[in-house]
Amino acid sequence: MDRTEKQEFVAELASVFAETSMVVVTQNQGLTVSEVTALRVKMRAAGVTFKVAKNRLASLALEGTRFDGLAPMLKGPTALAWSNDPVAVAKTAVEFAKTNEKFVLIGGALGTQTLDVSGLKALAELPSLDTLRAGLVGMIQTPATRIAGVLQAPAAQLARVFGAYAKKDEMAEAA
């Protein structure tokens, strides 16, 4: 990389760090190309971006952002994963680390709070943002469904009463 490419890379990472809510730092020493490809596919499917970055350039991009606490973690062959859904990035990274011992979690940051490996694992156990949204929509819809059922019940009861009177009148006329 020449100097201008490095400056562009740092500026791009800095803008990403300004927009994202969660960053995870990993070490991926010894991963084969197929393993890294599988990891990238899983990350992309979860809406997570995974990038191998030079530690010095990543440190420069971190300066002045809310993820300053990650700079000491950038030692050795590191890679960064980030997403706007904090649970998705943590869950994907933790799941891949369970299946591949060469992929090591170093830590992460959720906003200004720096997380260690146990913090990442705890975050990975939470339900995803989409699951929480679905639960919220379900809770909102339930009272509306009950209200509609209550409002329809008297009308149905009235219809049954009128139907019973009609049948009674028909039987009286037939007799």
Measured torsion, CA atoms of residues 160, 164, 169, 171, in degrees rounded to the nearest 10: 140
pTM for the whole structure: 0.68
**For residues 86 and 152, what is the distance between their CA atoms, to the nearest angstrom?**
43
Read off the pLDDT of residues 118-138 as tens digits, 9 standing for 90 and up: 888 888 888 777 777 787 787
State the pLDDT at residue 81: 92
Domain 3-126 has CATH 2.40.170.20: no
Helices (H) and strands (E) in the chain, counts: 6, 5
**For residues 154 and 151, what is the distance between their CA atoms, to the nearest angstrom?**
6
Domain ranges (residues) in the chain: 3-126, 128-175
**For residues 39 and 116, what is the distance between their CA atoms, to the nearest angstrom?**
21
List CB contacts of 112: < 8 A, sequence separation 6 or more.
66, 67, 69
Output the six-digit token pair for 62: 């971190």
State the pLDDT at residue 42: 92
**For residues 76 and 166, what is the distance between their CA atoms, to the nearest angstrom?**
86
**Beta bridge partners of residue 83, listed in sequence order:** 22
Read off the pLDDT of residues 49-68 as tens digits, 9 standing for 90 and up: 998 888 899 888 888 888 88
